[in-house]
Structure 1
Amino acid sequence: MANEVAPARRLAKLLEAAIESTKATSGVIAVTREGGWEEAVGVGAKRIPLDRLPVSILTAAVSLRDGIALRDACSADRWRTDDYVRRCKPRSVLCVPIRCNGALMGALYLEHAQTAGVFAPTKIAMAEIIALQAGFALENARLQDELSAQHTRLSNTEAKMRDSLSQLDGASRLKAFGESAASIVHEVAQPVAALETSARAGLRWLDRNAPNIDAARETLAHICACAMRARTIISALRAKARQTEPTFIVFDLADALREAAEIVRCTLDAMKVSLCVDGLSSPSPVRGERLQLQQAIINLLMNGAESMQGVPESERVLVLACESAQNLLRIRIDDCGEGFDPRLALRIFEPLFTTKPHGMGMGLSICKSIVDAHHGQLELTPRLERGTRATVTLPCFSN
């Protein structure tokens, strides 16, 4: 779902997941604005007009904290005479409010047309988790609309001022950088909240009954750890925006690199990418911010993995190696991907510059700023065989 850029497609994916996981026969995600209901999103991102929505059920559900779950709407005293129920004759009905940061955003409506009592407590819990995700998607859509309106106003202002302000281009780039950084913080913060909530819900389910409890607990603990790591990244970005001095400590770089490799291993497995590590057995003390350096390495590893998606699976090999030479530590990341145009070598670290269709142009810029802050050097060079080599050079720590 993270690759679905359009908000309507994100909502459609969430609706499809809700229908599949609860065994419903149909459903919609209805959006509320200014106290009224708008058109809803159906399966396949189709727009559902207002006159086809169960408005009375939606309105009643959002007035309650936990929504409405009807075992058999056709026989329920309150609902069997409802216009929608008489017309469509749904049996099992589930309607969960969609909220974000306490604000009502809409409702997730699911029904089963033939069978009563379909929505058991576990399915209701799953629908609530998906409704939480839908709230984040709707909030992101609202923020994107606001950002688009701001960009429109900015473009109009630039058109009027272009002839008189020679430095407008540089100012606009700085403003765009600030907006992009704020967008990154927001886009990461919302899924992190969902990850942590989902992990805690999963642990509560496991405390009751579930197969393979130990493996599931380990997975949920990993989700919580990733959430904490993402929050640390957000704090680092905010500190950078405030120009706060970083706090450096001495730590083992080899251990930090092994941990970074474990963090991305599941993602790389899903991408059919093999990760090989070399030279991480001996302690390699450095002075710096462990989490920031790990994030730079993770970004470089993911860049390498993404560049290999167009090559055969058997050739998708990513190498992470570390070696010391002359009071320096050199981290090397080799991929077998498409590589980059050498003519772009001077621009690849520029903020907002990207060659990816859906890239933001911030990853390599952030990596370079982290390495620079550690008095190091980041280089990207083409490999003779094929692909790209990313090299991070850092000074060794000496007492």
Structure 2
Amino acid sequence: MTLFETLRMPVLAERMSRVKESPSSRVADRVRAFQAAGREVLPLTIGEPDFDTPDHVKDAAIAAIRAGETKYTSANGTPALRKAIISRLRRKTGQSYGAEEMCLGGGAKQLIFLAFVATLDEGDEVIVPAPYWVSYPDMVTVNGGRPVIVGTTAAEGYKLTPGRLREAITDRTKWVVLNTPNNPTGAVYGEEELRGLADVLRAHPHVSVLCDEIYDEINFGARPVPSAVTVAPDLRERVFLVNGVSKAYAMTGWRIGYGAGAASLCGAIGTLQSQSSSCPSSVSQAAAVAALDGGREFIDRTVRIYTERRDLLVAGLGEIDGLRPTVPQGGFYVWTDASALMGAVTPSGVTLASDAELAEHFLETSGVVVITGDSYGFPGHFRASFALSSDTIREAVAGLAHSVSLLRR
């Protein structure tokens, strides 16, 4: 590279040194490299439904295109979508939100990021229970905040407890993140658990709650999944609910997420949206209206299939010596404790010292790909998706059993 070319290169901001590439993206790159080399892989890494978007949703998008609904919309979405979201929130939470108390984004992920952009000053703290979705800590860090990682245990159901929350709060705490159903564990907070956390938060009025409920329709217990605003309506102004159509309606590529909370926060997010991407896709918004206003047939059918796959994967992993899967209450992942395999020796003589080395062993010996626990702030574990056909799950379980059988312990 010449000096002239070097001088023309943009100088990256210091904040970019704080953020890492998504572990999911790294795994995807590894999978593509294996496939390019002609090797078969069984990716238990899928983070999206393997079902197609429902026909009535696709039809609504096509109709919108034909009707010329292809222009800019308000940063806060079309009136039809705002109405559909408000109706869905009322059904889910029992709360009536006004149009000024909701916001729209290019997926729930963008809304979480924009909420941190809008609220975090340098050094503000965000409590993030571990295991956590891989993007939370980096989103906090890149916006000048400090993620405060609070560990949970299997005995606690991998959930934040009132005692741990109380110990983690300081004068600099701005947010606590609750992801229910949780990615990667599938844990769902019950009403009594949420009430316990709310009791702690009442003593700390400077702390808000970001509730990521993107998997709430994919649950295997009572419906709906409890919301913090339902059990503690007095904290409503301090709770930011984030959801979307990606997981429930197999619409990950449509990129529509929505949030509900204090009008001041939603207004700030709308301003950021107007200065960044202007608005989410008008066609995707029309599709989202059809999804939210449609019946439950698609959701009920897919949840039945997910339940069968969950049971198949949990049973298969549980039969492998050294693996201890947790039965998820929601989502489409099985969180598995593999700590008993640490220290085992591979056929090539490598002593497994980390879950990353274990995952590499799985990939090399059976072509099965999992996402390591350290990606979620919880080493010694891995996440396996069951958003796959039953035949693929059986084949992957057989592959993992083969890989484990090769280890010397």
TM-score after normalising by structure 1: 0.23
More strand by share: 1
Q: Which has the larger radius of gyration?
A: 1
TM-score after normalising by structure 2: 0.22
Q: Per chain length, whose mean CA-contact separation is higher, i.e. which structure has more relative contact order (CA < 8 Å, sep 6+)?
A: 2
